Structure 1
Amino acid sequence: MRHIQINDYREDPAVRELLALAADPVDEPALQGLFDHCAGLLVLVCFDEEEQVIALAAYRHSDAYALCVEYLAVLPGHRQQGLASRLMNELRASYRKAVWATTDDDAIEFYRAIGCVISDSAADPRWPGTQRYLCTLPHSQLLLEQPTEDPRYEEVDGALSRGLVKIVEPQARWGQDFADIRQVIAAALGASALAIEHTGSTSVLGLPAKPIIDVTLIVPDADDEDRYVPQLRAAGLVFWHREPGWYAHRMFKPGEATNLAPANIHIFNPGSPEYLRMLLFRDHLRTDAADRAAYAAVKREAAAALAASDGENGLVMDYNRTKEPFILALHKDLFGA
């Protein structure tokens, strides 16, 4: 397994077949265009004993925490040998990053089998009418760490607000509230919405929560605000704040005119450790009744303690800080291995 310069393999039949399998170019000019595109990527390949290329991963670094595999293919005669999973795991281990890709129904079971976190994704204009998925292979150590740099919190059109932090019993409407918000975001961003997930406590049936829907939105580059901020604002969402130093985080809220439920819409890059933590934590609580009950008790105690000390002058960050030991301990149980 080693890296190659793709331009040295333009006439190699195996590499031509692998790229055709990965992207289905319609003719020779399209295949050459694919070679041109891959010339700007890193290409890791597997060889057979005769030094013939038999599997390929063309990828790029998307940010400090993740890399994107744009094309992944194995020659038909060498499948079911674990070559694709070896390529994915080699990239994760070599760079100490999460590895993400988008795919369709034909390959989704492969990504599921190797341990990827999977979200429904927006349609890809290259394959119209095809269901797409965002698949991310986490790096466990990154899930246990936090950035050491200054988050660089910046208010935009919102501000920190104080009030009574109140926990309510689960509400049947929360799922529909999320669906309504998701529809607005999807219509505004189209293919730029790589994933739109319901996260936080309102996404877990049976879990009490603050009556605020948490939404996690994945865009190709959260720092490139010109590619999504105007569209979200045009849809009536309010750009509340940004934290460029904390996983490139941005947050929006629905404006009053949208008639949407109160929500925090968190925006991250693909492969973000925080996005992965949110989904894995959510999915665990959905299936583990004991931890769900324990977390419910922690939430009620944290809200009661803050109400007793600060009343109507409470900050959500203080409520979150009280919950943090439980969350971090559960993260260690989930990701420590």
Structure 2
Amino acid sequence: KLAFLSGNIDLAKAESVAEIISANTESSYNSAREHLIGAYSEHIGMLRNSLIEIIADVEASIDYPEDEIDPKDKEKLQNDLKDIISKIKELKNSYKGGKIIQEGYTIAIAGRPNVGKSSLFNLLLKQNRALVTPTAGTTRDYLTESIELGGYKVNIVDTAGMRKSGGMIEKEGQKSAQKIIDSADLLLWMFDLSQKNWKSNLHKDVDKYSKANNILVGNKLDKSTITDSYIEYTAISCKTKKQISVLKKEILMRIEATLPDLTSGLVVTSARHKQKLSGALQKLKEAEKKLQADETPELTAFDLRCSINEIDEITGKVYNEDILGKIFSKFCIGK
């Protein structure tokens, strides 16, 4: 905190120190380190300077109202503003990947009862966390555990089996399972390759439960042989561990496809930063409308200054003690 107050580092860099302290995966550590190096703060500073140049041009028309803005100059102002809006929007949208780096990539393991969901859950965790029995419907609630896969934090959720029959408790578990499926970053939908009717069941299940990002996982390869199907799937055996490494590689590919370029350092990992960028975007869009409608320059300049104020709260050029207290409370690593 003293380093920030004395001007040695900005607030974004100070927050990255806290992220380094709390980092529990390679990706979260590397992301925080890139922020501390300064590329992120430099980018924020560049956006701020570009906005100041636009404000200077807008406020010039306030100081000298007799000089109307040349149409070419107005067009340049609009283009410059659109460019800044685009860059801030891109930065804000990187939070989707940044959140995964900090909080983890959530995978839901789902399927009909007794297809090996809990067995796969235990295999990925490398421990017997979930109870495995031959009885269908053993898992009636969900279990969540986190692992590190390829340097990324992965939250794995073992869900209750999905079927029409079952008691009241089991049905409540199925409702929870559906919510988890809907909110997960990736769905592993499991089915039993040893069942004669697995193809017809799979087609029905895909129509009912499938989501945009899923991997269909056929278990019990040791009791069956891979046959052609017009639906692409990954065949594994939880019993013999065959093809588990293939499944892990496929999961890792899905994770990396979701993430932005982490080496650039231009990834928003803080919900606070995302909120401030959203506020800045809102004010910039309002300023853009006023500029296009030839409204009084004072109103346009006001929106532009409000957007700078939002950006300044990211780096700490503008701050209040309550925010600082909340941020620096995260640095307490011991009593």
Bucket of the pairwise TM-score, normalised by the shorter protein: under 0.3
Highest RCO, 1 vs 2 (Cα 8 Å, sep ≥ 6): 2
Q: Which has the higher strand share?
A: 1
In our comparison, the structure showing a higher alpha carbon Rg is 2
Q: Which has the higher helix share?
A: 2
